[in-house]
Amino acid sequence: MNFQEGEILIFDKPLGWTSFDVVNKIRAFIKYNAHIPKLKVGHAGTLDPLATGVLIVCTGKFTKRIEEFQVFEKEYTGTFTFGATTPSYDLEKEIDQHYDISHITPSLIHEAVKKFIGNISQIPPVFSAVKIDGKRAYKYARNDEEVIIQPKQINIKEFEITGISFPEVHFRIVCSKGTYIRAIARDLGKEVNSGAYLSKLCRTRIGEFTIENAISIDSFKEAVLLEFSSIIL
């Protein structure tokens, strides 16, 4: 492992961790255990704290490749829960409104999904890292300040419903950079005249980097300790 020259590390981000948590903990662990006083570490594509899955972390000179990885298409699997909404469109915030779902059928869901495939316009969530006048949108939201977020063009290459057990609908999505799956939950709920939020999310792929090839934080730490023999286990 040559962290200063550059490594590409593919992690399965733990539930509850922010992407920056992973970067900060990995940087600190490498610096201490590999005896590297200064080290650049960054990630290529934020995952929300309540999401798990593929997170690309680059070290050293390979941090220059972060933008290259960020543009790769992503694949996600997860669950939408219908009949309610939250301000954040996921479980970060508590349910604020309930909706009727008695009219929703599997065929209605499948027909609605078709409208999301291709190039579409999407308004990012207020609770997101989108910048408005140099300030992150979530900072406005947490202060109960109203903001207008401009829609962005995204591409949904594949949108598959993998299971339905109302109120839960399970899915797989392949999409472009900048797609908010939480916003898809919001918009899909509206499309079927109800409400929905994202209740589970896993990023299973970024480009050719897959969840099958990702490692846990603990496995990485064990590998680093084995690599640098000066560490006493």
Look at residue 103 and give its three-state secondary structure: coil
Per-residue confidence band for 233, with pLDDT thresholds at 50, 70 and 90: very low
> Does residue 229 have a pLDDT over 70?
no
* pLDDT tens for each residue of 156-212: 999 999 999 999 999 999 999 999 999 999 999 999 999 999 999 999 999 999 999
pLDDT, the chain, mean: 92
Contact at 8 Å (CB) between 170 and 81? no
Token pair, residue 26, equals 């990995």
pLDDT at 176: 97
Within 104-228, residue ranges assigned H as helices are 106-114, 137-142, 181-191, 217-227
Contact at 8 Å (CB) between 17 and 23? no
Q: pTM for the whole thing?
A: 0.91
What would the CATH number be for the domain defined by 74-206?
A: 3.30.2350.10
* pLDDT tens for each residue of 53-77: 999 999 999 999 999 999 999 999 9
Contact at 8 Å (CB) between 113 and 188? yes
List 97's β-bridge partners, or say none: 85
Residue type, 57: V
How many other CB atoms are there within 10 angstroms of residue 140's CB atom? 17
Contact at 8 Å (CB) between 125 and 89? yes
CATH 3.30.2350.10 in the chain, residue ranges: 8-71+209-227, 74-206
pLDDT at 144: 72
- Burial of residue 225 (CB within 10 Å: 0-12, 13-18, 19+) is middle
- Burial of residue 43 (CB within 10 Å: 0-12, 13-18, 19+) is buried
pLDDT at 138: 72
Pick the CATH number of 8-71+209-227 from 3.10.180.10, 3.30.450.20, 3.30.2350.10, 3.40.50.300: 3.30.2350.10
Q: If you average pLDDT over residues 118-145, what whole number do you get?
A: 80
Catalytic residue among 12, 21, 48, 133: 48
> Does residue 127 have a pLDDT over 80?
no
Q: Read off φ and ψ for residue 87, nearest 5 degrees.
A: -60, -30
Q: Crossing angle of helices 217-227/19-33, nearest 10°?
A: 10
* Cα distance between residue 144 and residue 20, in whole Å: 24
* pLDDT tens for each residue of 14-68: 999 999 999 999 999 999 999 999 999 999 989 999 999 999 999 999 999 999 9
Judge whether 48 counts as a catalytic residue: yes
Token pair, residue 91, equals 């479980």
Per-residue confidence band for 228, with pLDDT thresholds at 50, 70 and 90: confident
* Cα distance between residue 159 and residue 116, in whole Å: 8
